[in-house]
């Protein structure tokens, strides 16, 4: 079985951006992994792992298609020039992946920035949303 092609990967990433494929983080809150791999299961049966660097979407670390074909960072970096340069904008990184942006924390309810000094990590809620729950 051959691996995932660059065209397939780019179509998958586009579907995530457009919201036709939805992601569910696997057993984590993406903001909890301030620097490291964030694994997701996609609504189309694929799995994707994104490297989160200081709460900024950095790169695709690996992808597994529903049929078991896979792709790793080295394959993308060495053989997929367009996919290697792929980077969602900050709002897509937040709305689709739950990754809030470079050195930011955001309320998971309303999306406003949360000051890291007053952050209640387990909740990721701003004062207003914490008071209304």
Give per-residue pLDDT as tens, 44-95.
Answer: 999 999 999 999 999 999 999 999 999 999 999 999 999 999 999 999 999 9
- Considering the domain architecture, whether residues 98 and 108 belong to the same structural domain is answered as no
The residue behind tokens 């701003």 is 126
Say yes or no: 15 and 80 in one domain.
Answer: yes
Q: Which helix (H) or strand (E) holds 110?
A: none
Q: How many domains does the chain have?
A: 2
Q: Looking at residue 113, what DSSP letter applies?
A: B
Residues pairing with 51 in the sheet: 37, 59
- Same domain flag for 97 and 112: no
pTM, to two decimals: 0.92
Residues 43 and 69 in one domain: yes
Q: Are 98 and 106 in contact (CB under 8 A)?
A: no
Instruction: Tell whether 60 and 35 lie within a shared domain.
Output: yes
Burial of 41 (0-12, 13-18, 19+ CB in 10 A): middle
Percentage of the residues of the chain whose pLDDT score is greater than 90: 80
Residue 89 lies in a domain: yes
Regarding whether 75 and 10 lie in a shared domain, the answer is yes
> What range defines the domain where residue 117 resides?
103-133
Do residues 65 and 82 share a domain? Answer: yes
pLDDT in tens, 91-124: 999 999 999 999 999 999 999 999 887 776 567 8
Closest to 42 (Cα-Cα) out of 50, 33, 34: 50
Q: Are residues 32 and 70 in the same domain?
A: yes
């Amino acid at each position: 079985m051959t691996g995932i092609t660059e065209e397939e990967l780019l179509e998958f990433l586009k579907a995530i951006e457009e919201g036709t494929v939805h992601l569910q983080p696997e057993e984590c809150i993406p903001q909890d992994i301030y620097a490291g791999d964030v694994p997701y299961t996609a609504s189309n049966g694929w799995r994707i792992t994104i490297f989160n660097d200081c709460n900024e979407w950095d790169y695709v670390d690996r992808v597994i298609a529903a049929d078991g074909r896979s792709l790793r960072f080295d394959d993308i970096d060495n053989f997929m020039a367009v996919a290697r340069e792929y980077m969602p904008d900050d709002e897509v990184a937040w709305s689709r992946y739950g990754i809030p942006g470079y050195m930011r924390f955001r309320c998971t309810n309303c999306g406003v920035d949360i000051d890291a000094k007053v952050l209640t990590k387990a909740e990721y809620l701003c004062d207003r949303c914490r008071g209304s729950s």
